[in-house]
Chains A and B, each alone.
Chain A
Amino acid sequence: MSKRIEVRDLNVYYGKFLAVEGVNMEIEPRSVTAFIGPSGCGKTTFLRTLNRMHEVVPGARVEGEVLIDGNNLYDPDVDPVLVRRQVGMVFQRPNPFPTMSVKDNVLAGVKLNNRRISKSDADELMERSLRSANLWNEVKDRLDRPGSGLSGGQQQRLCIARAIAVSPEVILMDEPCSALDPISTLAIEDLIEELKQDYTIVIVTHNMQQASRVSDRTAFFNIAGTGKPGKLIEYDDTTTIFSNPSVKATEDYVSGRFG
């Protein structure tokens, strides 16, 4: 179910502006990798290059290679739509489709793609996705109500269920808990722990406790100054990053001395 990601010499541009420079990274399957670093250092930008969401922004482009199980995402013949079916994404702010019910939101990946699915299969897929997102018990009585009527934390878990329902290999999470209260955050962290069994997970977070709680490996990004490109400073096991980092900047950041 899960795949290995390899990033080689990746430069990310917005038009002429170099946003992230020279990233090399290997992400193991069935692991949680956290990206930490100060605001504006390119964590989210880099994350979005992993499923070609980056190029949705006009003028954005990428140099270098991202390999998923050896397949280069940025090969000229690659269809970004097929990439995104394998690499799902959860966004910072919960964004359920406002025109759809809870049920249709979970099945959005199937229904929006005009794929035919029998009613029993659909119900089974929906229940399985909602159960793996720890949301089934809360919404099973209001599956036909609008998805935007749920609370913020429930909406975010609904978005995770929606991402799982298309059975991706990798799930990217862009600060999934930044708009949530501590209890919902805990629910989602537990969920990440469970999802790790089946998926490769990459998570961007500003919360260093969260990074240390949920991730196996941590990447620290930093930026030299405004207008300069963000860089990957250090990438290691989470315990090493938080207890014995090899770079001074990482130590300063994780111990709260700057940023």
Chain B
Amino acid sequence: MTMTTKPDTPAAVTTPIQNSLTAGRLPTPAPWIILGAAIAVSAAIFGVMAVAGGSGYNWGGALLVGALLYIPSVWLFSVLVEGRRRAMDRLVTALVTGAFVLAMIPLVSLTITVVTFGLARFDAEFFTNSMRNVTGEGGGIVHAIVGTLLMTGTAALISIPIGLMTSVYLVEYGHGRLARGITFLVDVMTGIPSIVAGLFAYAVFSIFLGPGTRTGIAGAVSLAVLMIPVVVRSSEEMLRLVPNELREAAYALGVPKWLTIVKVVLPTSMAGITTGIMLSIARVIGETAPLLIAAGFTASVNYNMFDGRMQSLPVFVYTQYANQGNPPQAYLDRAWAAALTLILIVMALNLIARLVARFFAPKFGR
């Protein structure tokens, strides 16, 4: 009698049972199909509207409404097939991706615009001539490139040592009221409008050299005022990231504090500091207002920081656009080409910063 129950047991084991860990899953291409369908529906609606209204077809609107339609529909499909948790995941993914695309639109649009308009005058003459004695067509931006590089370079020479040493003070030495005061003032400095920095530099140099003086060094000082707080803040963050253990390791070897900072702390954070400095340069190289006030504008090449006005790329773009001559198209083309040059310079600086950061970064290879 005990044998009768036996045959059931193997049967129960061999029957395929439902794996309790599986759940419904949308096939991989499903989101793309839903997106295509959403855009198709929206395109159809806009088509009907275009026919009914008799106006042109609104492509931008069709894409935007299609994308907006995609967000609830992917959530709906996901809820039906995959359940609430995955649906929420899909919804947030769609929102985040949407935000990213939205943020990219102005950037891509700006790059395309500048490149298409800027290429018209992006030629050899443009990079070998200044605007001296040029009216109408022709001319170039040598004087503006020289001015921008000289003034930004001088601003960097002023603000990198000051900014770096300030951040070293704040991280390694500063405790109490003085350090808090400096941090607060640096934060305030980050927020001052750039034209105020220009006015400051103009006013300072007016005191010593008489009113109305506009020189390259004044422009550099105004840029340095804008640059210092950025350098201080970014380097401060990087220095704080250096683990205390490394400082203690150096102290325990009998290394004095200043050598520990110079030889352990700074090298360890060099990659981040370089990136911060390059970003601060990129921040000030496009400044127009302070240079317009402090350095003025000119049509000639000027290598002397301490005498005479100095042109710079952003101011060149501004003056070409604001004071169009005859034919106006020549002035507009020069403005666009100069803007393109400025973007390329900033891009080159960022690439250099990346290479430098990679070169200096602590190595963790086995």
Residues of A whose CB lies within 8 Å of any CB of B are 51, 53, 56, 58, 81-86, 88-89, 91, 93, 95-99, 108-109, 111-114, 145-146, 148-149, 159, 162-163, 166
Contacts and interface: CB of A to CB of B under 8 A. Distances in A.
B254 A82 contact: yes
A91 B251 CA distance: 12
A162 B254 CA distance: 12
B243 A109 contact: no
A96 B364 CA distance: 11
Given A146-B363, A149-B364, A149-B365, A81 B255 contact: yes
A134 B9 CA distance: 62
B104 interface: no
B129 interface: no
Contact of B268 (A56, A84, A98): A98
Name the 8 nearest CB pairs between A and B, nearest first. Answer: A85-B254, A98-B362, A89-B252, A109-B253, A95-B245, A146-B363, A84-B254, A149-B366
Contacts, number: 92
Given A51-B252, A163-B252, A113 B366 contact: no
Nearest to B270: A99
A53 B259 contact: no
B249 interface: yes
Contacts of B362: 98-99, 146, 148
A100 to B, nearest CB: 9
A88 B248 contact: no
A152 to B, nearest CB: 13
Nearest to A171: B252
Contacts of A114: 259
A84 B364 contact: no
B73 interface: no
Contact of B364 (A58, A82, A95, A98): A98
A84 B363 contact: no
Nearest to B259: A112
22 contacts: A53-B251, A84-B254, A85-B253, A85-B254, A95-B243, A95-B245, A95-B246, A97-B250, A98-B362, A98-B364, A99-B267, A108-B253, A112-B255, A112-B264, A113-B254, A113-B255, A113-B259, A145-B366, A146-B362, A146-B365, A149-B365, A162-B249
Contacts of A84: 251-254
Nearest to A113: B255
B263 interface: yes
Contacts of A113: 253-256, 259
Interface residues of B, number: 26
B260 interface: yes
Contacts of A51: 252
A112 B268 contact: no
Contacts of A163: 252-253
Interface string B189-229: 00000000000000000000000000000000000000000
Interface string B261-272: 001100110100
A99 B365 CA distance: 11
Nearest to A111: B263
Interface in B258-310: 259-260, 263-264, 267-268, 270
B85 interface: no
Contacts of A148: 362-364
A111 B246 CA distance: 15
B361 to A, nearest CB: 9
B6 interface: no
Contacts of A99: 264, 267-268, 270, 362-363
